[in-house]
Amino acid sequence: MLRCEDIIEAVLSYNPGADITMIRRGYIFSAKVHKGQNRRSGEAYLSHPLEVAGILTQLQLDVPTIVAGFLHDTVEDTHTTREEVQELFGEEVASLVEGMTKISSIEYTTAEDRQAENIRKMIIAMVNDIRVILIKLADRLHNMRTLEHLFKEKQTRIAQETLDIYAPIAHRLGLGVIQRELEDLSLKFLNPEAYEEIAAKISGKKLELSAYAVEISALIQEKIRDLNIQVAVKARPISIYGVYKKMVSLQIPFERVFDVIRIRILAQRVIDCYTLLGVVHNLWKPVPGKFQDFIGVPRTNQYQSLHTLVMGHKGHPVRVQILTDEMQRRSERGITVQWKYKQSPTESQEQKAERFFWLKRLLQLQKELLDSREFLTSVKKDLFPDVIYVFTPKGEVRELLKGSTPIDFAFNIHTEIGRRAVGCRVNGREVSMDFTLNNGDAVEIITSDEQTFQREWLRFAKTPKARARIKEWLRSKERERSIEFGRAMLQDTFDRYQVDKTILNNGDAFQDLIHKIGHHDREKFLENVGYGKVSPLLAVEKLLSSKEFKRLKKKEDKLRKKEPGEAPATGIRVTGRDDIFIHMASCCNPIPGDRIIAFIGDKRGVTVHEIGCPLVPDLDVNPERRIEVVWDPDAKVARSVKVHVQVLDQPGVLADICSAITAQGGNIGKTHVFTTEDKTARCDFEIEVYDRKQLDEIISAIGKNKTVLKVERIKGIESPKSHV
Ligand code: MN
């Protein structure tokens, strides 16, 4: 069993200034709270946190991470609380331990590829600090090393999870050594026969390959004797799982995997790598198309090396990697490499630039990142942008956009679940449908057969899928309603003109009728009448003689004029219609010159909005309801608008402003003036104007007054009080 002193010694070897008291305290605390607990192997529980901390020192991590390694199981498996850890070891250690506790609550059940990928992403997205993942990997590595003490069933489950989840995470973070060991150990428990077979054969192969490496090294040394280059040639490390994977994927026996000799050439400087590549290509014939420059263009996990394939050492093809020692370290220790240098305050600009070169590649950031935590956050943001991962009641992981709500989740599961959603429980607690979901939430939708789509869901549905489904439904619903409404309008009009209505129920005759009006589709015709786009009079006109029609129309028009509350003039023209009621929307109160958009309302009539009105996107759900309108250039209709003015409170100011308004032809209606303690006055004017141009002139005239601090048009009908 490792001792605390071994850990301290290891830390001091790469971090001479480390706070060893802190490490010792972490060890003592862990020993105290785990006292009396045993591992299944019969060993004292303490051996586990010690080994985990030991693995973390091999990654050369900082003191808080090592201490968190000692403490990683305390909150979950002992009576220790987060507060206690925070009090004794500070917030940094406490949050690392907390992160570990959080991850262990994630359960992995199915071996489905997509699910595995989502769990991997979720684990990384869930923690605030990538060091938590490094501790988790160390934890898993030690558990895998001691897996033989568990029951067979549990062994298989943990090994599969390791292979599906943790080894790929190690790979993604560039931790080659950990990845290989996790993979080999997983194979050992998932397919013991294959593992044993390969393990037995591999040691012989290793000797053979090392012998080749020595021969090749001699040939290269000979060539570079006069150059000032230091070089080491090694056989590539072979992992049991790597060989197994090749055998399975290429369907070849063990021996054939080694038809190709794999060597690694290590240089000191980047420039030497390219020189050595020339040497190799000079010694043997390169295979065209097999050269790859991962130094110039690193892989996404920051692996760097030159790859080439040459023909002919003793009849074998040779696969060659050429890289610097530094690149090799990165390929083994990935993102942890950066901590090694962190403690040196005397770092030169060049060293700094070299250190950050790799980080910059990883983050694709232009600026240097000086703080490791900022770095970690960026890595996370970079790998996993705007998504969250939540669980279904069955434990499946679903990916949603950040900011998603239960309604998004419901539609993500199934359109029917979305349609019938009436409530939601998140982590067992009931929440409203506009609740914002968080990473790792367990979400359960409560459904009812009585429920159906709601328009208000659009207010908080975030994902395109949910929004599309809701809008689709709203459209079809409105369409149905319009068809019904159109039929009713036709019947009503037929009654008033005393035309026989039975034609409406006679399929062929009705089809003939709408054909005469220039329509083809019956439903579409009814829908358009319902929306108010087509006048029902068109149908009546075709069924009466023109003389008769004119007579009845005159009578109708006369009746209509007598109706009280005749529509006020609006100065709006609706394309193709002159018998339609027009409302100006009070929310945005457009005036001639404003860009406008209009919608047919639920009642007969059109509502005109300013194009930027916040209500427009909601109304625009159904494009069928949109109707062409233009300002009538001949109409001169005065409209009332609100203008808010803020001025220095001086005598005569108000009079000056009023005369500025009237000088531009504005007619002042209601006026509210408030004076404030800071010696300013706020005035709200209602001014009647004819168009936007006139209003702009008035606003600019008011603005010319030197005491005016601010002048603006207020859209809508908010009460002046809201500006006090
Ligand atoms: Mn553990």
Average pLDDT over residues 648-660: 83
Which among 145, 137, 215 is positioned nearest to 176, based on CA atoms?
137
The per-residue pLDDT for 337 is 65
| Per-range mean pLDDT, top range of 71-80, 109-118, 334-343 | 71-80
What pLDDT band is residue 378 in, cutting at 50, 70 and 90?
A: very low
Average pLDDT (467-483) is: 84
Beta strands in 299-450 (DSSP E): 306-313, 316-324, 387-391, 397-401, 421-426, 429-431, 443-447
Residue 238's contacts (CB-CB under 8 Å, 6 or more residues apart) are 202, 205, 206, 209, 262
pLDDT for the residue 428 = 85
Report the DSSP beta bridge partners of residue 242: none
Residue 353 pLDDT > 60: no
What proportion of the chain, given as a percentage, has pLDDT over 70? 84
Per-residue b or e along 655-690, where b marks 16 or more CB atoms closer than 10 Å to that residue's CB: ebbbebbeebebeeeeebeeeeeeebbbbbbbbbbb
Whether 76 sits among the annotated catalytic residues: the reply is yes
- Cβ atoms of residues 680 and 709 within 8 Å: yes
- The Å distance, Cα 156 to ligand 1 centre, comes to 18
What's the gap in Å between 399 CA and the centre of ligand 1?
28
Confidence grade of residue 683 (pLDDT, cut at 50, 70, 90)? confident
Residue 592 has pLDDT above 50, yes or no: yes
Quote the pLDDT of residue 358: 39
Positive or negative CA dihedral for 268, 272, 277, 279? negative
Q: Which of 478, 492, 721 is nearest to 618 (CA)?
A: 478
User: Percent of the chain at pLDDT above 90?
Assistant: 27
Higher pLDDT, 193 or 571: 193
Mean per-residue pLDDT, 440-467: 88
Active-site annotation holder among 6, 77, 434, 688: 77
Rounded distance, CA 205 to CA 236, Å?
Answer: 12
Query: Which candidate, 143, 250, 244, places its Cα nearest to that of 187?
Result: 244
The runs of H, that is alpha helices, within 497-610 are 507-516, 522-531, 537-543, 546-562
362 pLDDT higher than 60:
no
Q: Is residue 107 scored above 60 in pLDDT? A: yes
pLDDT band at 22 (very low <50, low <70, confident <90, very high): very high
Look at residue 169 in the predicted model and tell me its pLDDT: 82
Residue 77 annotated among the catalytic residues of the structure: yes
pLDDT number for residue 494: 81
- Between 44 and 599, where is the model more confident? 44
Mean per-residue pLDDT of the chain = 81
Distance from the alpha carbon of residue 260 to the mean position of ligand 1, in angstroms: 40
Q: Which residues pair with 324 in a beta bridge?
A: 267
- State CA 113 to chain mean position distance: 20
Rounded Cα distance, 175 and 15, in Å = 20
The pLDDT assigned to 300 comes to: 63
Lowest mean pLDDT among 114-118, 280-284, 409-413: 114-118
Among 242, 317, 253, CA closest to 287? 317
Ligand 1 (ion): residues with CB under 5 Å are: 73, 139
Residue 430 is predicted with a pLDDT of: 92
The mean pLDDT of 243-272, rounded to a whole number, is 90
Per annotation, catalytic residue among 5, 76, 416, 472: 76
Say whether pLDDT at 560 is over 90.
Answer: no
Higher-pLDDT residue of 231 and 337 is: 231
- How many other C-beta atoms lie within 10 A of the C-beta of residue 245? 14
State the pLDDT confidence band at 718, using cuts at 50, 70 and 90: very low
- State the CB neighbour count (10 A cutoff) for residue 309: 17
Beta bridge partner(s), residue 313: 316
User: 287 C-alpha vs ligand 1 centroid, how far in Å?
Assistant: 48
**Banded pLDDT at 12 (limits 50, 70, 90):** very high
For residue 606, the CA-to-ligand 1 centroid distance in Å is: 68
> Cα separation of 376 and 99, whole Å?
14
Nearest to 422 by CA among 398, 454, 389, 393: 454
pTM over 0.85: no
CA 629–ligand 1 middle distance (angstroms): 70
What is the 48 CA–ligand 1 centroid distance (Å)? Answer: 7
